[in-house]
Each structure stands twice: as C-alpha cells, then as structure tokens.
Structure 1
C-alpha cells in the first residue's frame, strides 16, 4: 500500500532479510564537502528465504564502484535501493565505494557537520545516508572502521568499540582504526571526527576489569563535564549491582555535539549526546538540567545491554529497547535520590510527564499502541507512547512478579537472547517464564494487550461500607475508548496497588473475604475483567480508598471521591503519590468547575487551608510541597475536557494562582525564607527541593505584589536575580519577574543575555523563558515573533528552534491558540520552513496539532486552515505529511 508517495509499512508483513551481512570493514576519507566511503562486507544468502536480488538501502549518496569477490558487477537503482541481480550462492565479499557530503546535510541524519566537526546519527535509518546497506535492525554485523582525515582539522577520530591502531599519514593526515567485537545493527554505528578535549576516568568494575571512561567536548567546555562523568560512573556501578550487567568494552565514550535532533544516542561504546545532556556548571545549569543529565547518561549507558546486546527485530518492537530502558533509567534515578521521599518525588515527576505528553497522544490523531501496527516514517514513532507508556508496561510486569522476580526475568532474557534481534513478546515471555507462579505468567496473553491496544484505559471505582457486617465492598470497572483503527478494546490486566485509610489517618489492615487473617495494609488487586468486586472484612470504620498507589497502572481513574475524602488522603495517605494526587484533584475539581461556568472562580477556605497545611507541614519534603502546590498544567486541564477553550483554561488557572498567591502570602514568605540553601551548590535531592520551593514561593509573592501595586517582592526578586550564586536561583528569580512585573523583567532579560551570550545552552533558556511566560494581552506571542529575527536565533539548530517555537506552540497554549488565528498561522509558516531544513524536527513540532479537532471555535477553524496550508505544500517530507495527514483525518 502507499500513502501519497510513501510506503505504508505494516508489522504483519515482516519477513527476515534475504541476505545476512556478517562483517563490515569501513574506510572513511573524511572531508566535509566530499567524504569517500569504502564499504567492504561479507555477505551470505539467508537459506530460509527464496533466492532473490540483493536490495540495499541508500539516500543522498553517489556510488562510484560495486565489486563482488573483487570483480566489478552491474547494478541498478529501484525505489531508492541499489539492486544487484546476479550473486553467488556461497558467501561472498561485496565492496561499495560511494561519496557523501556532510556539509550539505541539514537533516542531521547520517554523517553531518556541526561546529567544524563531523558526527553521525544513524537511528533509525541514517546509516543509508552514509553507504548502501541492509539498513534494518535485524541485520547484525561485526564492524571494523578506519578513519582518515586532516590532523589539524580533526585531531580526534572515534568510532565504535576498541581502538586497534592509530598513526600518522602523509600530507598532514592521520588515521585511527577501531574494532567492535560485538555484532550490531547499522543504526548503532557511529563516528566522530573533530577538535575535542576529553575528561578521562579509569575505573575497575566488580568483575575486576579495568575500563577507560571518556567524555569528549569542544575546547572550553571541559569544566562542564564533571557531573556527566560522575553520572556515567554511577550508571556503570548501578547496572552491575542491580542487574549484574557489566561494562563489556575496554572503553566507553560520550561525545557532546551542539546540533542534534534528539537527546542522545546509544551507539555501541560511543554515545553521541546533545550538549544539553552533558554540559553543566552551577552557574549555567539548573537543578532540572543536572537531573536530566544523570537520567539521560544513565539511559544511554543502560542501552548497552537493553538495546545493543539485545536489539529489536524490527522497528515495530522499538519499545523493547526504549520502554525497558526508560524504566531502567527511572529506577536508577530513584535509587540515586537516597531517600524514600525523594524516590516518591521522582515517581510523581515521571507520572506528571506521562500525563502531560503521553495521555494527550493517546487521545489524539497519532494514537498508537506501544507496539505500533504500521507506519509511514519510523522517526514519527519515537513517541511518549513507545518510551514512557512502554516503561509503565515494564513497571507493571515488575509489580506483578516483584522486584526479585523481575531481576530473575531479566537474567533469563539475557541468557536466551544475548546477541540477537528479538521482539516485545520474547521479553514478556522471559519475565513470565522466570516467574511461573506469578499473575503475569497466568495472564500473559491478556497482559500483552498493553502492547497491542492504543489509548488510555478508564478505571472507575465505587465503595460501599456496611457497618453491621463490618465489610467494605470495592467495585472496579474498566473500559477503553475508541482510537484510530481500534473501535473496540478488550479488557486489560490492570494491577491496582491500594490501601484503605480511616478518617483519623489510620491505615486499615486488609483482609479479603475468604482469607483467614489480615495481611498488611497495602496490596495489589489485579483487575482482568470488565468489572469485579472485592469485599474486605473486619473493617471497623468507614474507610477512604487509596487506589492506584504509586500510579501502579497508566490509566485514568475516576474514584468518585468527594472533597472530604480527598482532604483525608491529602492529610494522611501514607502513599506519597496518592497524597500528591489528592491535592491535584482538589485543584482540578475547582478549575474544571470554573472553566465550565461563566461565574468567576472563588476559592473556598477549606481548599486554601489544606494547601497552607501542606506548605507549613514540618515533616513533608520541600520538593513534595513544591509539586503539591504547583497547579495542574493547562495541557493537563485540556485533556479533561471534551471541548477545549484554551483562553478559558488559562484564565481559570491564572485566577486560581493569583488567589493562592494572595491568600497564602504570609505562608509563601515564610517558605521562601525557610528554604534558602546555604553553602556551595549541590544538585542533591534535598537542596534541589528547597530551591524549587523557594522559587515557587518567590513567584507567588511577586504575583501577589504585582496585583496590589507593591514593588517590595519584585525588587527582592530583581536583587536575587543579580546576586544568585547558581542558575537555578537566577532563572527562578527571572521567571518570577517575567510572570509578574514587566518593568523589572525587561532589564533583567537584557542583563541575562549580556551575561551569557557566549553560552548556547543558557541562551536557549533565555528564548524559552520568554516564549513560555504566561500570556497577557498578546504580548508574549508578539515577543516570540520578534525573537525569530534575533541575531542569536537559528532554525538550523534543533535546540534553538525548540527553545522558541516548540516552547511557544507546545508549552504556552494561551499564547498559541489565539482568536485571530495568528498563532496557528505562525505554526504553519514555521513547519513549512523547517521541513525544508530538517524534516524530523519539523514533524515533531507538527505534533502540537494532534488534538486540534477538540478545540472550541474559533480556534478549531483556524487550526484546520493552518493544517490544510501545510498539507498543500507539494514537496512536503514523508515525516511531516504523515503527521498532518493523520491530523486531518479527524475532520
């Protein structure tokens, strides 16, 4: 089938390759305008497939020669492939010589130039832009790579695996030869040729082997690599301790590059990173940046086993490596926090991210299962569903088999499949087989519906307490909403971690009907039917159910709890996640009521008193307080509505924020003063939590002061901005000013730019802050348009484009969705412009319109018109056309 000019790829059509490539010897004569690639492969027919021509993938490269067993052969081009019809039946050598032009490659896929250096990005299908190849993940080969280049221009030459040889060549050139002993698919190939410096660390792992760790950056950035190196060391130690997975190469390298479409890439032994997730000093990076570096460094290192040693059979299995590795990096980050409370805070942050990005995806035009059934452009399926929801599926497996059981399953998985390209089914079966008596093993076929069904399941609960019999009956009911291509949904296996809480705060012992005695105060109920009832006995008082503790399943829960019940949970629930959730629900209920009414929002004393109690609580962690007192985002609010009016959502949320700022003014002042961090900067969880709460308090105090015409707190914020000893506090103070006091914000923004104009990542923050400031009278949108013309702005750099365009369109709904349609027109112009430069980046920004059909008028009509404008572009890339086409199907 074809969609326009692009082929629709279906999972059900998978067939193994007709040929295997067993080894690859690559030689590069590196030059930015004209790089020669000599590709020597050892190839053999796949005896399980009928005899057929060899078809190799290739894009934007020029072939100069093709040889089989040393002799030139004829070939043809067909559908973007190089086809060789006549080949030996026995294994043979194939040599292809071709030329590519890195300096012309604005797509940043394949071999490209950045900052004077040459870098690669091959996932998902970038290797075909370097040389002709069977560019698919189930073709795994051993690579030897020789790099030759000008020593003055490219003093550092890196590739995958171990360094075999290096030396001088005539005419000012030099070479380096690398060998990776582990078979890998082409998407894991990498090379770097650049003028870089490295932080190095020798370590000895638990297995007693010595390894060299290196973090390469451009000259001048070496002082910003300490945290990345510490994160890498921690990752190596953690993976060997938690899952007995050791580092398997002599060295492990990270390279930072300023132009990169993603966060980072797990190429075997040579991880290439966006500078955003490597470079940090207290003066230039926030606590969020430090946490992000630790998480992403961990994620890419953990891929060494879950993705590299065992890889995907085909791209439909992408969550096999990504969902599993996101789960692993989340567990790593939680373990690194050092306390149970900080672990809970990390879990809340992860769930908040899931709800704000993945839940809307499940409800939009691009809704797809964790294991998709079809795609036009695979780059469009590097999504929150594959990554974050995929991680939740893995987490549910761990919940159903236990932490030790999951570790046994991981061990069995590696025993069975190390060195192979496999499927999500293979992974799930390994976890189940290692735990034959578990709920997962008993219900595996049904559990795997999480991989095959799109959308977010709905879970409803009701409870009935019967005082005479001292019983409490809980009903749980599930259903799935229709999604594109799936009108009917079968029941899922949903683990519901739960407890019962007395109104006095006591955790009630749990004893189900038929059990001999109570067993603890928390358990996991496994719902596998459309509806089920659970009766608890020996319940002396009417309880409040605490369901889905720790967010034990990625579902939308309607527990029908009244405000009084939520207040009990907010005050007493021993599960930190549900305690936070109760506070969010209390705010959400009031916001949704205001959005659905023409009456102004007026906060009640019960709600403000409850939040004051959280803020003043002597035992709660500062980071937890910050999360609980931060209102649900406008994006999350929109997901609760059938018809979305972004301006009404914005007005209601801003009104609630202002009222909380004013009602708790003295409490915010107390919190600000009490949560100052003395001494040198540290990104540890406790210090970061204090800074976060102090900055929230400062923003609320500035908001309340601005409404009253008082300049004391804005003045203090300006002084804090100038005097701050770290970027977290400096940016927090600047954010407080931009959100409340334009007169002081303007000089502060100028001063910020002047201080950091040479630091690209900090200037990204400067652009993003202005694009995400709460909209007032259209001023934020107008400022964003002006910033397009700023000398520091460039569409060619993904980080910079995201810092302004994505920040505005994706993270500032009220500024983007304008009644005059100007925001949608702005988006359409940028998508068309970007598509000619970097289709992958353009497609990701196009996703902001996934749920345009839910918009109220007049936003819906102008969004539709903008989509049609983009769709009308004749030479639109497959990347963007797939996104726009699916969005327009909502009409």
Structure 2
C-alpha cells in the first residue's frame, strides 16, 4: 500500500540556489543497484544504495525525489518507519559511517508529460535525467558530484518490450514463465545520476563496429522503430567518424564494449550523452535524401559527435555542480565544431557558428536573461541550458586555444583529462590546466566566466602617407547587464592583418593582439601604401566591432581578404551598414553592395557554399540588434528593397546558379552541398526581384527535386510570396509527408516563418490543425518557436502575436514546463521596442507571472524578463 504520510508544503517563494552556497555532499553513494519492473502505467523501482558518510558530521541522509509513490524503506535490511519527507527529500537520520539503503517506489511513465525521468514515447519507455530527472525515478542524492557505479536489472513484458537497454555493458538476460523477460547491465565507471539511462521497446537496430587504436572492437548500435531503420546509416557513419576523430585529435579512446544510441520522438533536448547509451531526439538521427535537408545531415553528424565526445568531456570528467555546466557543454561544443569543420568547409562552419552565436547568444547577453558563462544563481537549472552556456562557453575555449596555440592546447587538454578522470571538476580546474601546460597566466581571462555581456571593441586606424607607419587604436567596453554594472575589461585575443589598398597585398604577417586593458595602440612598420585593416579574423573573440572602415574599405576586404571569415564579415558589415541606414533614413544607396555581391559570385576560386553564405543578407533580427529601437516593419521594407535590387541587378547570375540543367543526382559531399545551397539562395533572389516567372521556377524545382534540400528550399521561397503555386506546394508537401512527423515539423515551421502580413492569423489557425500538438516538443518548437523568431509577424501591429504566444506558453507549461520556458525569450526583449509594443509585451509577461500554479521554470524566465 502507498505511504500516505503528509509532505511539507512547497514554499510560496521559489527557492534560489546560489553558487556561493555550494558544499560537498554529506554522503556519497559508491554503488547503486536498481531492479526495475517496467510497466507504462505503474513501474516499480527497487533501489539499493551503498551510502558512506563524507567527513566528520552528523547530517542525516537526504535523498531527492519527485512524483513517485514511496512504498518501502529499509536500512541494512530492516524496514524502517522513522523517515520523513521534507521539501521533496526523504530524510533519514543514520548512525555510523556506512549503510545499505533500500527503497521501493512506484511511478507512472505514461502520465509523465514533462519528459523528465522515466516516460513513454511512441510505445517506447525511456529516460531523461539531466539535470534533475533521476529523482523522478527513485530516491537519490540527485546532484552531479555524487559518483556511483550502477548495476541495473530490468523486467518487462517481452512481446511489448523485446529490447531492454541500459548504461554500460550487458551482463545477462533471460525469460520468465509469465511472458516477461529480464536483462542486467553494468556500468563500471562511476557516474552522476544525471547520466543514468534505460530504454525498453520494440526496436530494430543498425549494427556496426569500431576498432579502437588499442585494437578493441566496440559494438555499435542505432536503435529505432523498424520503419525508421533505413534512415540510420548516416548517424552510424557519423559515430564511427567521431570516434576516429577523437582518437586522432584529442587522444581519447572509447572505454566500454558497446555504444548504443536510441532515437525517440518526444525529447526536450537534441540528445543526451548517458554513458554508453545515448538517447536522441529522432530529429538528430533519421535522415535520407527525401526527408532530410543538408542542414539536417550536418546537424545529425554534429550532434552524434557532440554526445559521443561527452564520453570524456562530461562523463569520465563531470561537473562538480550545475554552475559548472559550461565545463562540459562549452568544451564539447568546441570539440564538435572542430569535428564538423574537418568534415567539410572550415570557413563555412565558422560562419555558421558565428551566425548562430549572434542570433541566439548576443541577444541573450543584451537582454534581461543575461548571465555569465558560470552563473551565480538559479531557480530552475533547466533554464541555464542556454546559448551562453553552450555557444559562448565554446568561444571561451576557442580563445584559450588561440592564446596557447595548437600544441600547447593539446598538452593542456591531455593534462585535464589525465588529472581529473573519474572526478567532478570545475571551470577553474580546466583553466588551471590551460595555464600549467600552456605556460600562460589566465588570471584576467577568468573574468569571461563571471561577467555577462558582449564586449564592444572600437577600432581606428591612423596612417600618414609617406610615414611608413600605421597605428591601430583599440578600445573596449563591456556593457551593463542585470545585476552587473561597471564591468572590467576582458582579455580579447584579436587576430589582425593589414592589406594595401592599392595592390590588395598583405602588408606583413598576421598578428595576434591580446587586448586586456580598456584601450591599447598597436603600431605597424614598413607600411608602404594606404592600409586597410582586417579585424578579428576568424572571429577570434566573441565581440562586436565598431570600426572607422568605409564602405569602400569593406568592399575591398570582401574582394581581397585572405581570411575567409574576415572576407565574409566585410561583406556582411557592408550590407548591415546599408540596411541600418535605409531603416533609419528610409533609403540607402545599394550600388556598393550590388558590386560586392557580383564580385563574389564571379570569383571562380571561391567555394560555392562560402559564396552562398557571403551573399545572404543579414537577418531582420540582427539588423534590429544594431538599432536603439527596433522598427520591425521598417527593417523588413529596407531588407526587401535591397533583396529586390540585388535580384534585379544580378538576375542572370542568379538564374545561372539555379538553372535546372545544372542539377545532378543527390550526393552528400561538400561540393554538392555548396551547389545546392547557392541554388536555393539564388532562387530566393529571383523571387525577391518580383520576376513574373519566379513562382513557376520555384514550383518546377519543388516538383523535380530528388532531395529535401531543394524541395524545402523551393517551398520556403514560395511561402514567402502569394501565388497559386504556393498553395499547391503546401498541399502537395503536406500530403506527401503526412506520416512523417519530422518533415511535418518543416511544414509548420516554414509557414510560421513566412513574412506575409497574414502570418499571425495563419499561425493561430495552424495551432488548431489536427496534426498540431503541444505534447511533442519538436512540434511546439516548429510552430511557436518559429513564430517567436519571425520578427515582422510576431511584432505586427495590434499585439495579437504577443497574446497568442502567452496563451500557448501557459497551455504548454501545464504539460512540459521546460519546453515552455525555452520559448518565452521573444517576449522578454520588450525594452528594444517602441513604447506601445513594449507595454503590450510587458502586459503578457505580467499575465504569465500572475497565473496561479505556473511552474518555476516559466516563472523564473517571465519574472526576470519583466524586471531585469
């Protein structure tokens, strides 16, 4: 019978967890044994914990729990009743130094809509325990600095759940007389509870192997529903590539006999790195040419690599506490970025990474939810799985790698892996290894971990003709952010080079300048002609650059710079300056941009993928980030006018790039990806020009496409305008892929991103579509998240978009607070808009905060957005 003793009431005010309050665990749990009787309606979990007191104290044992029904508690084999539940913890006063604690609980996976702990997804039972999901499975000190070895026995109905998987290596399996079967798994490597995983389901497997550098053969498996098996080959190949890359680049070898990946449809994240048993959102596993774009293929390879790389940077070495989250995530993002760069165009990969940083992390740094890479406090840890922790955290690792250089950085990572293997470490531990192995002092660099905000660097180049000398004056400022004012200057590694304005040749070698003060001046000698400076080459520091370079200088760099990213950046800055001027003044001269784009298109030495990225205009949201007050309609009109003029002036070039006669059968190669990318960018420019045949041209590509990249690219172009072909394409696309949830996500998302005036009404209508559901995070993100990112539609006059988003978030919060909280930030940027829009956004935030019984996830995000 379930225990009915009363539990302490939840506090009226959410509890704030602070980094300064960290204390080591009072009890450690060296070994855990779980016996799990799996049933979707009522799963029984018996846990056996060997607990050991840490240090001299008389603290009771506190085990975290949430949502389970407690059935029994035993201490050293004896049933006890002197336990209590306080603040969600089972508290046991224990004498002595070591005990065996046994508990039994019941949980209901079928009713777990939060998708944390053990839950059901499409007939599969699976787990998600990061950050605090294990407490929803059994009572446990659910914190990352409690490391345990796990032995797991699972029992389930064999017909319904023929496959039983868990962390580590399989030990034994067998059948029972009642139609159930069992399996035992053992993970010999101590891990925190957030890395626990099990899966039960009717699954098919794509098997492979990998032979490590020491000669061990590792059995690999990608587990999916049988109908999806044919779409797992790319993920398996990516895993094998990642394993080889990690050995070659970081010297890291895999340590178990098996490595399994399971794909499920309902998942709050992209994937999870559980030791030996990664659980993935199916979006990042399933691919074939008909259903996955090149972006999807690239993302699958990157995420598979990311989760595999966590085996060392996250599993073998984990976080001491959740404030150190970037220790594993920032470092692993940096590692997966390096892997992806090595698989194709490094320049294009860097462009994509920086574009993502500017789209998500820079606005985060500039808004009410700004926080350091190592935060100081939180109400709900799920809210710190952010672009700052991941993407800015990766930039911190990149800057240290730039300062140290390749050889010393590799020596530093080797030291880190060797010294902290099997422990729960901190960001400080990582930086200390960089210092020791790199022979550098990073005392000032540590500010990056504690200061929020994106530094702004101003650059002015002085040159007197005939002097043979030029001086670059640099100054930096870190803006105020909520809770932090009067910032200290950051350490900025800036790669620089001068080019001669007449010859286009470099004036000396590239320099690495470390700007660590508020201002500095750098002198260049033997400057024989007017110089033009290439700044922050490779985006060596995550900063905003304000320079005195003219439009002519930027156009010059867009033609002559020998650093691909700097060349791209010069083009983007030229476009951005033009668009900002047009937004503010109502018009701007487009001639310089048109000429620079023409030069780029005509350069036969350039990779087509790079060309496609370089000729794309900055996003509307990024243009808005440059303005003191965002005017969505003015930005849209300015950008459309430049797109129209580029389309018309370079019509022949765009049509040549998307000429159907040049198409060739699908191949996933860097060259073919570049051709497809430029083809779809070109198609968009033809449509932007207003050409009468543009809809027919796009629909012809849509019909003839042998791959999703071209089909979806054509659909996106059509959805951006009004035509009979638009309606036809949407209908054909829907009916062709009605049974494929991942592709239907694209159908919802594409419409939610449409720039047309009636998009808010269309999105509200799509929310009533039979295929729309809030229960699936992918579907919610596809419609709600895309609409929030659509600057023109979301901020349309009247505020309907704000009310609709708030309504959706409140409804979603009742099911899945973590996903709801992640979709709130567009409302939090109210300070960037005019008073009317700002008041309307604030009103919706206030409504959310005032709603009874909202989750602490959504409350924290909304209250900070309202007040910060």
CA contact (8 A) 1:676 1:690 kept: no
Residue of structure 1 aligned with 2:676, choices 688, 691, 702:
691
The answer to whether the 8 A contact 1:675-1:690 is kept is no
* Structure 2 residue 27 is the aligned partner of structure 1 residue 39: no
Shift of residue 675, structure 1, vs aligned partner? 9.2
| 2:474 paired residue number | 476
Name 2:157's counterpart in structure 1. Answer: 150
> Which of 772, 777, 794 lines up with 1:816 in the alignment?
794
> 1:29–1:316: structure 2 CA closer, same or farther, 3 Å change rule?
same
Q: 1:865 to 1:658 in 2, by over 3 A?
A: same
- 1:380 aligned onto 2:383: yes
SS in 2 for 1:7: coil
Q: Does 1:81 align with 2:59?
A: no
Q: 1:863 and 2:841 equivalent?
A: yes
Alignment of 1:738-887 (within 5 A): 738-775=719-756, 777=757, 779-810=758-789, 812-887=790-865
Assess if the C-alpha contact under 8 Å between 1:361 and 1:850 holds in 2: no
Residue-by-residue CA offset, 1:46-101 (whole Å, 9 max, x unaligned): 115x211111110000111111100112200111111112x131211110111111
What is the DSSP-based 3-state SS (H/G/I as helix, E as strand, rest coil) of the residue aligned with 2:290? coil
CA contact (8 A) 1:675 1:691 kept: no
Q: How much has 1:563 moved relative to structure 2?
A: 0.6
Match of 1:703 among 659, 669, 688: 688
TM-score, normalised via structure 1 length: 0.95
Does the 8 Å contact 1:676/1:694 carry over to 2?
no
CA distance in 2, matches of 1:860, 1:505: 50
TM-score, scaled relative to structure 2: 0.97
Separation (CA, whole Å) in 1 of partners of 2:865 and 2:712:
36
8 Å Cα contact 1:103/1:112 also seen in 2: yes
Runs of 4+ in 1 over 6 A off after TM superposition: none
**2:3 corresponds to:** none
The gaps in structure 2 that reach 5 residues or longer are: 1-9
User: Which of 226, 229, 235 is residue 219 of structure 1 equivalent to?
Assistant: 226
Which of 496, 505, 525 aligns to 1:498? It is 496
Partner Cα distance (1:624, 1:109) in 2: 40
Match of 2:135 in 1: 128
**Which shifted more, 404-413 or 735-744?**
735-744
Is contact 2:145–2:319 with CA below 8 Å preserved after alignment?
yes
What secondary structure does 1:550 align onto?
Answer: helix
The Cα RMSD (Å) is 1.3
Q: Which residue of structure 2 aligns with residue 451 of structure 1?
A: 449
Q: Structure 1: give runs of 5+ residues left out of the alignment.
A: 511-520
Match of residue 547 from structure 1: 535
Other-structure match for 1:94:
101
1:630 aligns with 2:616: yes
> When the two structures are aligned, how many residues end up with a matched partner?
858
Displacement of 1:468 in angstroms is 3.7
In 2: Cα distance, 1:630 partner to 1:774 partner = 16
Give, in whole Å, the separation in 2 of the partners of 1:560 and 1:145. 63
SS of the residue 1:183 aligns to: strand
- Residue 857 (structure 1) shift: 3.3
SS of structure 2 residue aligned to 1:539: coil
State the distance in 2 between where 1:822 and 1:425 align. 47
Q: Match for residue 725 of structure 1?
A: 706
* Alpha-carbon distance, 1:237 to partner: 0.4
The answer to whether the Cα contact below 8 Å between 2:551 and 2:592 also exists between their aligned partners in 1 is no
Partner Cα distance (2:534, 2:495) in 1: 9
Q: Is the 8 A contact 2:461 2:548 kept in 1?
A: no
- Answer yes or no: is 1:427 the counterpart of 2:427: no
Using the TM superposition, name which of 465-474 and 798-807 deviates more.
465-474
Q: In structure 2, do the counterparts of structure 1 residues 462 and 757 end up closer, same or farther at CA, with 3 Å as the change threshold?
A: same
Question: Which 10-residue stretch deviates more, 832-841 or 463-472?
Answer: 463-472
Equivalence for 2:367: 364
Q: 1:645 to 1:320 in 2, by over 3 A?
A: same
How far the C-alpha of 1:836 sits from its partner, in A, is: 0.3
Moved more, 602-611 or 342-351: 602-611
Q: For 1:78 and 1:592, locate their aligned partners in 2 and report how far apart those are by CA, in whole Å.
A: 56
Residue of 279, 285, 301 corresponding to 2:308: 301
Alignment partner of 1:825: what SS? helix
